[in-house]
Amino acid sequence: MTPSIDVRLNVDFPNFSLSVDLSLPGRGVTALYGHSGSGKTTCLRCIAGLEKPKDAFIRVNGEAWHDSANGIFLAPHKRALGYVFQEASLFAHLTVRSNLEFGLKRIAVGERRVKLDHATALLGIDHLLERQPDTLSGGERQRVGIARALLTSPRLLLLDEPLAALDASRKREILPYLERLHDELDIPMLYVSHSQDEVARLADHLVLLSDGKTLASGPIGETLARLDLPLAMGDDAGVVIEGQVIAYDTTYHLVTVRLPTSRLSIRVAHSPLEAGKSLRFKIQARDVSLNLQPDDQSSILNRLPVTVVSEVTADNAAHVLVRLDAEGTHLLARITRYSRDQLHLHPGQRLWAQIKSVALLA
């Protein structure tokens, strides 16, 4: 049976209602994304058992955690989950090692699937084990908190805006470790965030929430490329692509990546990567320009043949958003209405998308 996380919730508070019906992948990272007050944290708290709605069904990879119709409600401490909050909430009187052992001791020896040395290596905290929490940076505390959650050997890891309390430099410090968890652990994660760049780097599946309802749920590449969602209207709108490295230019420090659905490739400024490795990157809609001809006399390295799929008016009167198809890979372009008219854009039209290598977020 394909692993899945099934969540149906109807929650009524005095000033807020949440109504969702989701069937999510039982592997990888699913992001719950939306503005403050959209219901992301409430959904997570229900899955953890910290809220007990009267009408709910929660099943994680075949195990029912909450089924109100059949009188099933598993207490939070009986749910095989790890929960990471915005603040690490470490025990101040214990060393880092003792904080980690607290999580480890919750699980019987025979049921432990994550060892202490594995967790500390994954999060890069081996050198912090004898330190006290008050001597750690915010990023270090959060990495310890994540390691402690992993040491409960969870079947599901819940992360509630784990980077929200960190400044930009600390976020950059911790994101590579979260990517390692994604790549190296077979533990599904639900990741709450209102940062599209975080979601783009980490998530495989995206759930978009607004005012307690689901606007969309699907693979991140497809969902970010939809023009009927508010995601496409923001200044950080763009698509996420995961391709395969086919070459590395040591002179110019450029990785050549084949797009996942075609023979087309794109060059990305990046540190050395071996051929065959996967690389995920984001292309912002504002960084895509369009040309009727392949202009090879330009500083723009990437020129892809594309077909116009559709367009919508952007969030201001001067711009339009254009959805493009590059042999099965979707792109978005944010251009002026003037440029649209000069190019005589229409669905089915063939032209060239130009993307600066320095503009790609990898």
CB 175 within 8 A of CB 198: yes
Task: Please check the confidence at residue 241 and state whether its pLDDT lies above 80.
Answer: yes
186 and 205 assigned to the same domain:
yes
Q: Which of 181, 208, 231 is the last residue of a domain?
A: 231
Do 57 and 18 share a domain, yes or no?
A: yes
Domain boundary, last residue among 214, 231, 248: 231
Percent of the chain whose predicted confidence (pLDDT) is above 90: 71
Chain center to CA of 203: 3
Task: List the one residue out of 232, 225, 241 whose CA is nearest residue 320.
Answer: 232
pTM of the predicted model as reported, rounded to 2 decimal places: 0.89
Number of domains, the chain: 2
8 Å CB contact between 209 and 33: yes
Asked if residue 190 and residue 146 are part of one domain, the reply reads yes
Residues 161 and 82 in one domain: yes
180-211 pLDDT, tens digit each:
888 888 899 999 998 888 898 899 999 999 99
User: In this structure, are 102 and 151 located in the same domain?
Assistant: yes
Exposed/middle/buried for 102, CB within 10 Å: 0-12, 13-18, 19+? middle
List the domain range (segments joined by +) for residue 186. Answer: 4-231
Amino acid identity for residue 36 in this structure: S
Whether residues 304 and 183 fall in one domain: no
**Do 96 and 160 belong to one domain?**
yes
Q: What is the pLDDT of residues 205-229, one digit of tens each?
A: 999 999 999 999 999 989 999 999 9
List beta partners, residue 29. Answer: 189
Residue 103 vs residue 184, higher pLDDT: 184
Task: Specify the pLDDT at position 359.
Answer: 67
Do both 224 and 305 map to the same domain?
Answer: no
Q: Are residues 314 and 224 in the same domain?
A: no
Same domain, 261 and 226: no
- Domain harbouring 70, CATH code: 3.40.50.300
Q: Is the pLDDT of residue 242 over 80?
A: yes
Of 164, 196, 231, which one is at a domain's C-terminal end?
Answer: 231
